[in-house]
Amino acid sequence: MLLRVVPRVCTRIPRRAAPLQCLRKTFSSSSSRRSYRPGYFRFLDDIPQDNILWGIIALNSCVFAISWWAKKKLEVERNASLYKWMMNNFTTSWRNLSAGRIWSLFASTFAHNDIGHILFNGFTFYFLAPLTLNILGSRHFLFLYLGGGALAGVASITYSNMWLSRDRPSCGASAAIYSVLSFLACHSPKSTLLLYGIIPMPIYLAVGGIFTYDLYRTATDKGGQIDTSAHVAGLLAGAGYFFLRRFRIL
């Protein structure tokens, strides 16, 4: 679904960039208190946030283009080599994990099934990512995004094989994006979310509704072609990351 977050941090918004500026000012004190703590991959914080935003969008676009080409080669030329390579490296499944392709847990967050899938996720990511990048910085945003997607992949594999008794390949950025959405809901619960860019509602209410709906579809196996178990895991990962940061564990 298409989501846009409107933070209620400033009472006056003189120009479009004001919400991000206010968030930066609000959370700079908490960031400075943590600056003395040692951390891993600190060089990632030197990457401009715009580069992270557009880099992830570009990676999704490139992987989708390769996936589209692979499907066309399979349909037209009956050549399945590229399609099999994509399935082996850009989907989460027990087959891939047991074969040692651990990277597929992360790579699958950049792959999508069709044009509607990538457009929906792309627009949602575009609206949610800047606020979260401004709050966390480049390094912790990547930890949240990629970590949430990978944990959701593990949850999807576990659910498919233990609950459904079948190995079901999965891909998409939805779970990683949901981890970002869940983090924002925990961090700024008074923010307003525009559902489909039109319908305003409190972000905590929207996230609670999404979680309940996807949890129900997961428990009743009514997700269809949508991997709702990964959605649930992504939402939990985002909330978990918030509390890890809140209590200065990360």
| Closest alpha carbon to 87 in 108, 102, 72, 69 | 108
Q: How far is CA 143 from the centre of its chain?
A: 11
Percent of the chain scoring above 70 in pLDDT = 84
What's the pLDDT at 199?
82
Which residues are registered as beta bridge partners of 5? 193
- Mean pLDDT of all residues in 54-63: 97
Yes or no: say if 241 and 250 are a contact pair by the CB < 8 Å rule.
yes
Q: What predicted TM-score, i.e. pTM, was given to this entire model? A: 0.85
User: For the chain, which residues make up each domain, given as ranges?
Assistant: 46-246
Q: Which two tokens stand for residue 138?
A: 């480049």
DSSP 170: B
The span from the CA of 75 to the CA of 189, in Å, is 47
pLDDT in tens, 175-187: 999 999 999 999 9
Max CA separation in the chain (angstroms):
60
117: which 2 tokens?
């899938």
Q: What is the mean pLDDT of residues 118-142?
A: 94
More confident residue, 136 or 36: 136
pLDDT tens-digit map of 13-33: 333 333 444 444 444 434 444
Give the pLDDT of residue 30: 42
- 192-236, pLDDT tens digit by residue? 888 767 888 899 999 999 999 999 999 998 878 899 999 999 999
Q: Which CATH number fits domain 46-246: 3.40.50.720, 3.30.70.20, 3.30.70.580, 1.20.1540.10?
A: 1.20.1540.10
Q: How far is Cα 158 from Cα 126, in angstroms, rounded to an integer?
A: 30
CB 198 within 8 A of CB 206: no
